[in-house]
Amino acid sequence: MDSSMHRDPAANLIVALDFPEQGQALSLANLLTPKVKFYKVGLELFVNSGPPVVTAIKEMGARVFLDLKFHDIPNTVKRAVACATRLGADIISIHLKMGAEGVRAASEGAEEASVSGGGGKPLIAGVTVLTSQGAAEPSEKTGSVLEEVLRLCRLARDCGVNGIITSVKEAGDVRRLLGPGCSIITPGIRLTAALDDHKRAGTVRDALDAGADYLVVGRPITRAPDPLRAAEEFLAQMKVFGSKP
């Protein structure tokens, strides 16, 4: 587990701003920012609001996980990741299923843009199998979600990508395979074991016990009657379970 979890859970909790409009997203971020320091900007918000929403969040002093799941021909991916790097994204997601050439291109785009721009290099995080896919559903290559996740993790490692996006259900196996040098991001985190369209969801304790570094939480915070209080509940659990050996 990333040692930063022991220092400041707020650095490891990522709140998903899954809203259609920038105003809604920034209003919630302004409310949460005294406690939350990391936000996810996904496809809906980015397509509707564009780069300014990333800039606005960065100006609040928060970090941004730009979750656009790039998957295209290598040159296009390289240039898109370079643009996201210059925009200031701290984590950028790509689809590992695009293959080794595309994954290497993403890493190269981030490296070149960070050098030319003088900023820090973002974490390139590879999507394995979406959490909307159930564990019993066959994967494209192997017939097993876990086997497909681990195959893609080996691909990421071989291509120099050390961020992995996977469900809590596979996070422990990913940690054992890749060791402490990998940053694991787990979507679909809940306070209790409730399921929705994240079929392979999990709790805070599940994620931390499995060795996750970053926990992504959406509706349990953003749709809560009191989002700040809900965020505080997640942070409190992260502090308790993240401090255990």
Cβ-Cβ contacts under 8 Å for 229 (sequence gap 6 or more)? none
Residue type, 13: L
Cβ-Cβ contacts under 8 Å for 31 (sequence gap 6 or more)? 227, 228
Q: What is the pLDDT of residue 143?
A: 59
Each residue of 76-120: pLDDT tens digit?
999 999 999 999 999 999 999 999 999 999 999 999 999 887 678
Q: Are 227 and 31 in contact (CB under 8 A)?
A: yes
Active-site positions read 69
Q: What is the pLDDT of residue 89?
A: 97
For 59, 87, 130, 208, 245, the CA distances from 212, given in Å and listed in that order, are 27, 26, 16, 5, 14
For 15, 34, 39, 136, 194, the CA distances from 168, given in Å and listed in that order, are 17, 27, 19, 15, 13
Tokens 């959490």 correspond to 131
Q: Are 23 and 230 in contact (CB under 8 A)?
A: no
- Domains plus CATH for the chain? 4-242 (3.20.20.70)
DSSP helix/strand/coil, 126: strand
pTM assigned to the model = 0.90
DSSP helix/strand/coil, 40: strand
Each residue of 122-165: pLDDT tens digit?
999 999 998 665 544 544 545 589 999 999 999 999 999 999 99
Q: Are 209 and 241 in contact (CB under 8 A)?
A: yes
Per-residue buried b or exposed e for 21-60, using 16+ beta carbons within 10 Å of the residue's own CB: ebeebbebbeebbebbbbbbbbeebbeebebebbebbbee
> To 5 degrees, how large is the angle CA 160–CA 79–CA 159?
10
Q: Is the pLDDT of residue 174 over 60?
A: yes
Q: Please classify residue 241 by burial: count the beta carbons closer than 10 Å to its beta carbon, then call 0-12 exposed, 13-18 middle and 19+ buried.
A: middle
